[in-house]
Amino acid sequence: MPSSAEAKQQVQEHFREKARSFDDLYEDERAVQRLLRPGLFRRRELALEAVRSHQAPRVLDVGCGSGRIGELILRDGAREWVGVDFSEPMLALAEQRLERFGDRVRIVHGDFLEVTPSGPYDVVVAVGLFDYLPEPDVFLARMAELCAPGGSLVASFPAWTPLKGPLRKVRYEWINRCPIFNYTEPELEQLLREAGFARSEIRRGRAGFLTRSWR
């Protein structure tokens, strides 16, 4: 298992090379795509559900990538969207996509733990992020700090499955040299509680978990 610094570098390289292909996953809205990749759409809908529960919320999107979910969040009424990512190619796509929203958008390049965008936020979104983090507890604690009272975190966490687990390991770790991590429900309950979230809802899907956690 690589060190935290090595894992970060490997993940950064992976998303530098694969930015366009990851962005394209959200392009196809056909029914067959929803059938093959339901998690992409479920986590998007949960994020929007959280945004709609507030009036003109401030939203922090950690690991925002190309701004696909950010675009929908802004469309649904967020007064401010702050996207953080350490992949410059991903952020270049986000800048193009979100330019029309003007000063409601702030894009931050860097490591989330180091750039520390000022809070509080009504909604923190972290989908497709925890797949790649060797120290999820540190990230979750920081996210809890940035949540406003009554605010919530929407996050996705992959789980090992007999079918997809080996395939993902070969694809990411062996072929692309990008470490990936999996979670269990008891582990998630403990991580979220110890991070400082008072209550969490955990939904199990085919390939992992969707969570919404409140301060």
d(CA 182, CA 190): 15
Looking at residues 20-39, what average pLDDT do you find?
A: 50
Does 212 score more than 90 pLDDT?
A: yes
Helices (H), 53-202: 68-75, 88-98, 112-115, 136-146, 164-168, 185-195
Helix or strand or coil: residue 167?
Answer: helix
Looking at residues 187-198, what average pLDDT do you find?
A: 97
d(CA 176, CA 211): 28
| pLDDT tens per residue, range 67-102 | 999 999 999 999 999 999 988 989 999 999 999 999
Give the rounded percent of residues in the chain with a pLDDT score beyond 70.
74
Provide the pLDDT for residue 161: 78
Q: Indicate the pTM of the whole model.
A: 0.82
d(CA 124, CA 72): 15
Cross-sheet strand order for the sheet of 121-126: 105-109, 80-85, 58-62, 121-126, 147-158, 208-214, 199-204
Provide the pLDDT for residue 116: 79
Does 28 score more than 90 pLDDT?
A: no
The CATH superfamily of 4-214 is: Vaccinia Virus protein VP39 (3.40.50.150)
Looking at residues 159-174, what average pLDDT do you find?
A: 67
Residue ranges per structural domain of the chain? 4-214
d(CA 15, CA 197): 30
- The overall average pLDDT reported for the chain is 84
| pLDDT tens per residue, range 97-142 | 999 999 999 999 999 999 978 889 999 999 999 998 989 999 999 9
208-214 and 147-158 as β-strands: parallel, antiparallel, unpaired?
A: antiparallel
Q: Sign of the CA dihedral 54, 56, 57, 61?
A: positive
DSSP 101: G
Does 31 score more than 90 pLDDT?
A: no
The burial of 154, by beta-carbon neighbours within 10 Å (0-12 exposed, 13-18 middle, 19 or more buried), is given as: buried
Provide the pLDDT for residue 32: 39
Q: Sign of the CA dihedral 105, 25, 206, 8?
A: negative
